[in-house]
Each structure stands twice: as C-alpha cells, then as structure tokens.
Amino acid sequence: MTAPRVIPHHIAIVMDGNGRWATRRFLPRVAGHKKGVDALRACVRRCGDLGVGVLTVFAFSSENWNRPAEEVSGLMELLAMALAREVPQLQSEGVRIHFVGDRTRLSEKVRSGLAQAEAQTAANTRLVFNICFNYGGRWDIAQAAAKLAAQGAQITEESLNGAMALAHVPDPDLVIRTGGEMRISNFLLWQAAYSELYFTDKLWPEFDAAALDAAIADYGRRERRFGRTSEQITAPASRKAA
C-alpha cells in the first residue's frame, strides 16, 4: 500500500458508528464495539507504519454514561479485556499509552488497569496513543482552569494550554470523524482550534487502513494558514527560489 505524501504529526479520531454497525446486522450494540476494537488495532498499526507521531481517539465520552446501562457495562468489560489482550502487543510495537479523562467515576479495577498499561508502555517512543475515556472537551477546560485557580496561577491562554489533559502532545493536525455525523461532539474543543476536520460516512468498524490513507491524502491537499493569507504562506518559498 502506497503511503500518502504528507503525513500529519497528530491525528485525532471520533470513532463513531459501532452501535449502528451492529444494529444493521441484528447484533447487540456491544458486538459493534468489539468489532471497533479490531478497527482501532489496525489504525494504530497503520499510524505507526506511516510515521504518525500521535494518535488520539475518543473511546468514551462523559455523556456516554447516559446510554443504556447494559451497554455502559459492556464497554467497561470490553476495556478491561482489551487492556489485557492488546497492551503486550502495543508494548512490543513501541506504542506509549496515555488515558485521558476523569477517572473518578471509574471502578478501582478499571483505574488500576489504566495505570498499569501506562506504566508498562511509558518508555516507548514510536507512537503516542492517547485514549480519551470518560472525557469531554468542556470538562478538560474546566479542570485546567480549576487546577490553575487552586495554584493561585494567572489564567492565560498559555497557562491554560499547559494545564490541559493533553498538554503532553501538540494540538492535532487532523481530526477525523466516522459514521456520517458532521460535528465534534465535545471532543478536544480547545486543542482542535486550528485542526483540519475530515468527515466520512464509513462506520468505525469499516474504517480500515485504506480509509485512513484517504483521510490523510485529503489533509495533504489542504493549505493550513493559521490566520495568515495564502500569499504569506507561499512568499518565503518564492523568495528562496528566486
């Protein structure tokens, strides 16, 4: 498979459509989440092969607690099983895992599993893999402000940025959402201020390496100006050539 020409350093993904994938096949929604783990495994591997530096995924939002109790319970069990099964492989592939979100509502068993996975992969450098679990963009901004207030620190853009839950990585270059919805659903509200957005109708279990490459290829055709004009972007290169 030919790699895209321009590779974003940080890709973030809203993995939407697991439940609909299962429903269309007359399966329980949890079956879709299990299939979604397979798609995520392939995505992590492809990102590593392409040289992506950071992959951040939205695995469980703070609003997902409002889903049916059996689905929430199934997701928690799936997370525990996935940790036991996937972490050794991720460790061998040089992937460093970070779990981002509010852990206070999670069980002691789940919290322990998250901490163990982070500790086990802490020395890896090939790919930083952020899993946003019980995460919300508004929660992130609020917890950062509360942290600074408790320290008696001045709240500025710079200090707030440093207190965010994803302060250990640069902002995402590309945000992908699968499943056909065209919104970011409280994901990385602060960090995605200048991210390129890409929406696809593919449900998450159907999102394979080719679909990821297509999203990255689309990103490569865009001009990132960060508030500047096209002339300001191209002028330095033109002067250098002259």
Q: What distance in Å separates the CA atoms of residue 131 and residue 41, rounded to the nearest whole number?
A: 12
* Burial status of residue 206 (CB atoms within 10 A of its CB: 0-12, 13-18, 19 or more): middle
Tokens representing 95? 């992937």
In sequence order, what E strands does 84-173 have?
95-100, 127-135
Q: Is 64 a catalytic residue?
A: yes
Q: What distance in Å separates the CA atoms of residue 130 and residue 99, rounded to the nearest whole number?
A: 6
- DSSP annotation string for 191-213: TTTT-EEEE-SS-GGG--HHHHH
- Among 38, 64, 124, 130, the active-site one is 64
Q: Is 186 a catalytic residue?
A: no
Query: Which positions are catalytic?
Result: 16, 64
